[in-house]
Amino acid sequence: MDGFARRKAQSKDDIRKAAAELFGQFGMDKVSIACIARTAGVSQATIYNNFGSKDGVVREFVTGAVEGLVNRVQEVLAPEKPSETRWRLSFSFSRRLRQASGPRWRQIPSLEAAGTCRMTLRSSAFAA
């Protein structure tokens, strides 16, 4: 990877981190591209060049959050783990998810749907 590609990848990572921090603190509606740029230490043009718009930044944030959630659920529900361990991990995971997300997770329709699916996952995953 040459220097330009490395700096571009670093800028995108800085933007993602800044957006995640700001979205978590203030909500997606109240955070501007200017605020994300200031926090990430990049120009607004860099954000538009990498993500196209604020919607692109939000889409990337939500995609990352959902992928992380799916990976964690798959880890918790791994069939090689005893059912008691899966139950304990699931309980711990759902408690941490509620604590971490707070009321703002309802701003994201796909995560609201994920929240309603929790009970289905919990009850069906431990039938074995």
Give me the residue spans of the domains in the chain.
3-125
pLDDT at 87 > cutoff 80 = no
Look-up of token digits 């330009």: 4
pLDDT at 90: 74
Quote the CA–CA distance of 21 and 13 in Å, as a whole number.
12
The token pair at 14 is 């800085």
Model confidence pLDDT, tens digit, residues 13-62? 999 999 999 998 998 999 999 999 999 999 999 999 999 999 999 999 98
Element (H, E) at 116: helix 109-125
pLDDT at 118 > cutoff 50 = no
pLDDT at 122 > cutoff 50 = no
pTM: 0.61
- Is-contact 76 90, C-beta < 8 A? yes
Provide mean pLDDT across the span 70-74. Answer: 80
Architecture of domain 3-125: Orthogonal Bundle (1.10)
